[in-house]
Amino acid sequence: MVMTLLMKLLISKKLRFDEGLITLEGMNLNLLPSLFISELMKYYLDKKEMYKLYMLSWLWGFSIVKKIVKEFNLKTSDEIYSVGMDLGEALGFGLYKTHDYYPGRYTHFIIKNNPFIKHIQINKIKEPIDYFISGCMAGGGCLVHNTVCQNVEIRCMATGSEVCEFLTGTEKELKKRNLWDKALERYNLRKIYTLQKDIFKNYDENNSKEFVKKVIDKLK
């Protein structure tokens, strides 16, 4: 599936490697070593500010999936979810497998071969730490479920699990599953939730710099 997606993008020239740039329908992308993300995780973990990594990743996931929805003219939740997950694999975020999926409510999935955990000292980690993946999946999931979403990592390879298990859900769904309080505490949502709602309602390419500044200012 992933190779099929990549081949289609390359053949159609929607994905281009040209003049030192990687572009997906006009959006510039970069290939970053997984060590870079791992070091970011360790940096924010040491500072006890992992929610900042989550919010930055949330904005990244939201903006790129919003761009994909527009440029590829995706109409349904299934289309957005399928392309988004394939893109995550293509970008090297690990091997995704969906457990359960209900548009407008939640997506429940696992990731094997998580590349960001390999550089983490597993025996020192007591709680799930994939705030980067959680943020990306929550931000992108907003476009799948058509509302502001959060993502809670339930199991993590960094704590000794065989896979990383995630649930992206709406506030209502997370409360139903008794996960909302965990999201509130883990991501400092009392500080960033209002900003997420503003981004979901008002973000577009023309004001993207304005929202990046808002996020940076909020996280100072």
What CATH code is carried by the domain that includes residue 189? 3.30.1380.20
Q: Supply the pLDDT for residue 125.
A: 77
**Within-domain flag for 27:** no
- As a whole number of angstroms, the distance between CA 40 and CA 202 comes to 28
Q: Give which of 33, 32, 56, 52 is closest to 44, Cα–Cα.
A: 52
* Domain count of the fold of the chain: 1
Residue 17 lies in a domain: no
Residue 77, in any domain of the structure: yes
pLDDT score, position 136? 94
Domain assignment of residue 12, yes or no:
no
Confirm whether 19 is domain-assigned.
no
Please give the structure tokens belonging to residue 79: 């289309």
Has residue 110 been placed in a domain? yes
Helix (H) or strand (E) holding 5: helix 2-11
The answer to the question of residue 25 being in a domain is no
163 located within any domain: yes
pLDDT of residue 123: 58
150 burial level (CB within 10 Å; 0-12, 13-18, 19+) = buried
Which pLDDT does position 10 carry in this prediction?
A: 64
Query: How high is the pLDDT of residue 1?
Result: 46
The pair of three-digit structure tokens given for residue 76, joined into one six-digit string: 């349904």
What per-residue confidence (pLDDT) applies to 133? 93
Query: Whole-angstrom Cα distance, residue 87 to residue 140?
Result: 11
**How would you write the pLDDT of the chain (220 residues) with one tens digit per residue?**
444 655 666 666 777 777 666 676 666 766 667 888 888 888 998 899 999 999 999 999 999 999 889 888 889 999 899 888 877 777 777 878 888 999 999 999 999 888 888 777 665 778 899 999 999 999 999 999 999 999 999 999 988 899 999 999 999 999 999 999 999 999 999 999 999 999 999 999 899 999 999 999 999 9
The residue range of the domain holding 175 is 35-218
| Nearest CA among 57, 52, 56 for reference residue 166 | 57
* Structure confidence at residue 30 (pLDDT): 63
